[in-house]
Amino acid sequence: MKARRHLLAAPQVASLLALLAALLPPAADGATARPAMVHIPGGSFAMGSETAPAEPFEGPVHTVTVKSFWMDSTEVTVAQFTRFVQATGYRTEAEKFGWSAVFQIGQAKWARVDGASWRHPNGPGSQARPQDPVNHMSWNDAQAYAHWIGHRLPTEAEWEYAARGGLAGKTYSWGDEIAPGGKQMANWWQGNFPLKNTGADGYLGIAPVASFASNGYGLYDMTGNVWEWVADWFGAGYYAHSPAQNPQGPDSGLQRAMRGGSYLCSSNFCTNYRVSGRSSATPDSSLSNVGFRTVKDD
C-alpha cells in the first residue's frame, strides 16, 4: 500500500503558521529568545596595525588563521538580556556593587553613579531601551549570559577577523575613510572630546543596534556604539608570539580585552573605532559604554 503525502495549499500553510504563532508565548519587548547570528567563514588575515595612530600593542602585524564560526549580528540588546534575567534571576556586578561608572556628557566627565546599571544606564530615573545594546556589563556578566544561551565570547582574533568583513588591511570595517563622502558609518564622537559632540551621526549617546549599515559579513556596530568584551586576557606584547592558528590570548592576566570602541571615541582622544583598536579592563569593571556580543562554534 502506497503512503499518501498530504500537501497543503499556500493559504492553508499561512493559516497554520499564524495559528502556531498565536500559540507561542510572546517574547519580552518583542525580542526573540536567541539573537540573529551570521556565519563567518574561516580564513587567514593580517591582524593588528603598525600605522599611526595605532598603539604599540596593536602590533606587530601578524598572519592569523581562524576557524569558521557564528556571531551575533548585533551587540546583545537590553531586550535579550532581560530574557536572561527573567529566566535566571541573575544580578549583574553593577547591581551587586550598587553603582557603576557613567560618562556624564553635560559635565564632560566620568562619575561614580549610585544605582546605575543595565536597567538604569544613567542612574535612578533613567530607563534602558529594549533595542539599545545592553551596557554596564562586566566581563563576568557577559560570560554568564553567553553560557546561559549556549554561546561563548569571541576571541580577539575572531572579533577582528569578523570586524574586517572580508576587507584586507583597511582601517575601518568599511574601508579607509571614517566618513566616506560625508556619510556617517557608525556611532562615535564627532567633535572635540570631551567638550563638544556635534552629533553628526544622529546620536549623542548610545544608538539602537543596527542603526548603521552592516559590514561585509552582515555584522552591525562592529565600530563604535559600545565597547565589546572578548574572551582573551589582555597582553600588550602578545602579538609578538601569538600562535598563527586560532590564538586564544595569554594564559593569564589582570585585565580582559575589549574591542570596537564606543560612542565616546573621537579623533582627538580615542581612535579605537579602528578594527585593530584594543583596550582592556578588569573582569568586574562596568561602564556606561561597555557591552558585548557572543559567538558559537561552527
Q: Which domain CATH number covers 227?
A: 3.90.1580.10
pLDDT band at 2 (very low <50, low <70, confident <90, very high): very low
Is the pLDDT assigned to residue 26 strictly greater than 50? no
User: Phi and psi for 96 in degrees, rounded to 5?
Assistant: -70, -40
Q: Per the domain annotation, does 242 fall within a domain?
A: yes
Q: Per the domain annotation, does 5 fall within a domain?
A: no
Span 193-218, average pLDDT: 96
pLDDT of residue 9: 39
CA distance 91 to 105: 27
Q: Per the domain annotation, does 202 fall within a domain?
A: yes
CA distance 24 to 140: 32
CA distance 265 to 280: 15
Q: Per the domain annotation, does 2 fall within a domain?
A: no
Q: Per the domain annotation, does 3 fall within a domain?
A: no
Number of domains the chain contains: 1
pLDDT of residue 68: 98
pLDDT band at 139 (very low <50, low <70, confident <90, very high): very high
Closest to 67 measured CA to CA, from 247, 279, 275? 247
Q: CB of 247 within 8 A of CB of 171?
A: no
What lies within 8 Å, CB to CB, of 245 at 6+ separation is 64, 65
pLDDT band at 35 (very low <50, low <70, confident <90, very high): low
- Each residue's pLDDT tens digit, 143-195: 999 999 999 999 999 999 999 999 999 999 999 999 999 999 999 999 999 99
Is the pLDDT assigned to residue 8 strictly greater than 90? no
Is the pLDDT assigned to residue 101 strictly greater than 50? yes
CA distance 156 to 243: 13
Is the pLDDT assigned to residue 246 strictly greater than 90? yes
pTM of the full structure: 0.88
pLDDT of residue 187: 98
Residue whose grid cell is 600562535: 243
pLDDT of residue 28: 36
Domain that holds residue 131: 27-297
- Each residue's pLDDT tens digit, 115-127: 999 999 999 999 9
123: left (phi over 0), alpha (psi -120 to 50) or beta: left
Give the distance, in angstroms, between the CA of residue 79 and the centroid of all CA atoms in the same chain: 15
Q: Per the domain annotation, does 12 fall within a domain?
A: no
What lies within 8 Å, CB to CB, of 88 at 6+ separation is 148
Is the pLDDT assigned to residue 4 strictly greater than 60? no
pLDDT band at 281 (very low <50, low <70, confident <90, very high): very high
Is the pLDDT assigned to residue 90 strictly greater than 60? yes
User: Phi and psi for 240 in degrees, rounded to 5?
Assistant: -70, -25
Q: Per the domain annotation, does 20 fall within a domain?
A: no
Q: Which residues of 245-261 are buried (b: 16+ CB within 10 A; e: fewer)?
A: eebebbeebebbbbbbb
Q: Determine which helix (DSSP H) or strand (DSSP E) holds 21, and give its type and residue range.
A: helix 10-23
Residue whose grid cell is 582627538: 268
58 three-state secondary structure: helix
CA distance 179 to 271: 14
Q: Determine which helix (DSSP H) or strand (DSSP E) holds 133, and give its type and residue range.
A: none
51 three-state secondary structure: coil
Q: Per the domain annotation, does 224 fall within a domain?
A: yes
Closest to 269 measured CA to CA, from 199, 203, 169, 196? 196
The mean pLDDT of the chain is 90
Span between the terminal Cα atoms of the chain, in Å: 42
